[in-house]
Structure 1
Amino acid sequence: MIEIRTARLLLRPWRASDLAPWAAMNADPEVREHLGGPLTRAQSDDSVASFTADFAQRGYGWWAVEEQVTGDFIGFAGLDRVDEHLPFTGVEVGWRLARPAWGHGYATEAALATLTFAFESLALPEVLAITTVDNLRSQAVMRRIGMTRDPAGDFDDHSTADGTPTRNVLHRISDPRT
């Protein structure tokens, strides 16, 4: 699996030692506020198994993210295929960080490195990003990495646990080299 180094971060394969801090992140209601609520430890562990399998199959996916100086696991970033139930197709960039890592520019740094990988290594012509209309922090990261909102792609997600639709917004960025 490919590793990516930035000025402060290492995007790397998942390790067994990541499971506990990942589960703690996924149990945090603030971290999961726009993602359907907290996950159980089993759900969290299953997600890492899925990330690892997807990466092995496709050559891209979700990396674990650590601070280079401390070696601390702080979250994840990477690429994934857009869910099949959505009204568009493509590959999306995403990130999720533990609360102590918020506000340091890590999401922007990891997302920019991921976009570079998407365009230079995978030769993707475009990358998407999706979040809830209320997730202003993620939308700010999307703007900082050069993405533009596509209001025509906004949609209601009906796959929530309680069936209540959630309004989502779509952002796009094309390969700047083309």
Structure 2
Amino acid sequence: MAEILKTARLVLRAPDEGDIDRLVELAGDYEVSKMLAVVPHPYERDHAEDWIAHCGEVAGDEERSFAIDDGNGLIGAVSFRRLRESPRIGYWLGRPYWGMGYMSEAAHAALTWLFSVHDVTSVVAEAMRDNPASIAVLRKLGFADDGEGSCDSRARGAALPSLQLRLQRNAFLTTTQAVAGGQAGKELIG
């Protein structure tokens, strides 16, 4: 059974076929897809169906994806790749939900899950330089700059300058304990 993570406003759960229409609508927005490495534009129903199927095939093995649900359905996703090595976090949020703190809340819950379930020392992330909102989320969570890079964007059909960041397990756990008074502040249902 896949984990369900609950925060004050959100539920992070396994993506399912009921999410397909919202995936097409929200990830199909060019303002969203242009900031992501692997999401094409236009983003069509077959892309959403393939992603849902892929999530079911790899869940718990080398990758894990969570649909971010605000109680009215999918509003975005947060994923980890290379769970058994040096995990990489990726995420997106539908444009109507930007600026509300949802991504910081969802990513914090996902990172709390990662560090409680997997014995990894750090998590890496990459954000395109022209995506200051994503960089701000990562820094708020405790990620530190770890170099410069180039990130492919399928939607734009080009490689773009990027910032590579890393979050150390101990730094995250210390920050989480200080903020939550010694508790992660998240509920994990297995």
TM-score normalised by the shorter chain: which range applies?
Answer: 0.7 to 0.9
Counterpart-to-counterpart distance in 2, 1:10 and 1:19: 17
- Match of residue 178 from structure 2: none
Counterpart-to-counterpart distance in 2, 1:139 and 1:39: 24
State the secondary structure of the residue aligned to 2:61: helix
CA RMSD, aligned part only? Answer: 2.2
Please list the CA deviations of residues 141-166 of structure 1 after superposition, one character each: whole Å capped at 9, or x if unmatched. Answer: 00111111112xx2224575776332
State the secondary structure of the residue aligned to 2:114: helix
Give aligned-pair identity as a percent: 29
Counterpart-to-counterpart distance in 2, 1:7 and 1:161: 33
Counterpart-to-counterpart distance in 2, 1:102 and 1:161: 20
* 8 Å CA contact 1:150, 1:171 repeated in 2: yes
Aligned length: 167
- TM-score, length-normalised on structure 1? 0.83
Question: What letter is aligned with 1:34?
Answer: M
1:121 aligns with 2:125: no
- Match of residue 170 from structure 1: 164
Structure 2 unpaired stretches of 5+: 175-190
1:74 aligns with 2:68: no
- TM-score, length-normalised on structure 2? 0.79
1:54 aligns with 2:36: no
Name which structure has the greater RCO, CA cutoff 8 Å, separation 6+: 2
State the secondary structure of the residue aligned to 2:68: strand
Cα distance change on mapping 1:101 and 1:13 into 2, 3 Å? same
Question: 1:52, CA displacement in angstroms?
Answer: 1.9
- Match of residue 8 from structure 2: 7
Task: Please show how residues 1-178 of structure 1 align to structure 2 within 5 Å.
Answer: 1-35=2-36, 37-58=41-62, 60-67=63-70, 70-81=71-82, 90-151=86-147, 154-157=148-151, 160=154, 164-176=158-170, 177=173
